[in-house]
Amino acid sequence: MPAGFVAAMKAKVQSAVAAEEQVAEDVEGAEAAETETAPETEAAPEPAEEIAEAESAPAEEPAPVLPEVTVLDASATQAILDNGRGYAQFCDMAVLAFASFTNPGGGYIQGYLGQEATLCADSYLYNVLDKQRKWYGENRRRNINCELYRNRALVVPAVRFDRNHVHAYADVIVAAAPNVKRARQEYRVSDDALLDALRDRIRFVLAICDELGREKLVLGAWGCDNNGFDAEAVAELFRKELASGDFKVKQVFFAVPSTRWDEDFAKFEHVLANFPERNEESYAQVAARAAAARAAEQTQAATEDDEDEDDWRKYL
């Protein structure tokens, strides 16, 4: 074999060995560099802990959606006709009938024009209630409960209300408020127990409206006048429950017709003026201030009339 060829092969082998040694040195250097920088990369568990804490922190609950509340100087029927829908399949409203607990329609047959009787006069509601005499009989026998009554109600769906050729539909919730006058006189029920019973009944009615899935609800001065509750106290109970955010109704209409013999409309308007916030002043304070202002105006007007009156005697 030629000597030149052997020398070339030896040189080639030596260069390959040198290249392998260089690669090995580079790998060792890289491992050494990784070993030296490893403590620096291990140093960051704190951000991971902060991320874990951030993930475990409870998310803020969204604020409850409160209903829009309106006090109307109108009857319940008028509130339904003005704000309800004219097709039964699209009915989105419920109305609370201030029911008699023991007689269908209250005094409708006798010609009494209370809120329930008015609803019966403007619809076929009485015809439905008259067929539920077994339910009313059960109330008389077992559920008087010291005139506080119980959480029992009838629901009549999609009742058509008609007046002056205008109609609208609403579900009717037939429920009775406690009878304050008889509960006090006959059973000596305390005022706190009466208010607790009414508060529980209000929650019961609002829960029924939620169960029906209605977005609008017509209420009013429930339990006032003949039943004996003060309108300001009733309005405050309604305000607290509606402001709690526990119910799904979106629009609430308080149909409270103003009359000459009560101040129910003015009291409801006063209590609910800042809904959902509570009105810190009582209605009595506001009424007294308004009466004083009126008296001052009348006195001022009388004084000005006296000053303007011409004395006829100076012309004699």
Q: Give the per-residue pLDDT at 314.
A: 62
Residue 8 lies in a domain: no
Beta strands in 220-301 (DSSP E): 251-255
The torsion angles phi and psi of 170, rounded to 5 degrees, stand at: -155, 145
Residue 312 lies in a domain: no
Q: Report how far residue 227's alpha carbon sits from residue 139's, in angstroms, rounded to the nearest whole number.
A: 17
pTM: 0.77
Tell me if 194 sits within 8 A of 237, measured CB to CB: no
Q: State which residues form the domain around 274.
A: 68-294
Q: How many domains, the chain?
A: 1
Residue 183 lies in a domain: yes
Residue 45 lies in a domain: no
| Angle of CA points 33, 38, 41, to nearest 5° | 125
In which region does residue 165 sit, left (phi positive, over 0), alpha (psi from -120 to 50) or beta (all else)? Answer: left
Task: Evaluate if residue 167 carries a pLDDT over 80.
Answer: yes
Residue 86 lies in a domain: yes
Tell me if 276 sits within 8 A of 242, measured CB to CB: yes
* Averaged pLDDT for residues 31-42: 45
Residue 85 lies in a domain: yes
Can you tell me whether residue 64 is helix, strand or coil? coil
Residue 167 lies in a domain: yes
Tell me if 179 sits within 8 A of 149, measured CB to CB: yes
Q: Count CB atoms within 10 A of the CB of residue 264.
A: 22
Q: How confident is the model at residue 303 (pLDDT cuts 50, 70, 90)?
A: confident
Give the domain CATH number at 234: 3.40.220.10
Q: What is the pLDDT of residues 254-282, one digit of tens each?
A: 999 999 989 999 999 999 999 999 999 99
Residue 149 lies in a domain: yes
Q: How confident is the model at residue 41 (pLDDT cuts 50, 70, 90)?
A: very low
Q: What is the pLDDT of residues 1-32, one digit of tens each?
A: 445 544 555 555 465 555 555 545 554 554 44
Angle, helices 231-243 vs 264-271, to 10°: value is 30
With a CB cutoff of 8 Å and minimum separation 6, the contacts of 243 are 66, 275, 276
| Angle of CA points 124, 127, 129, to nearest 5° | 110
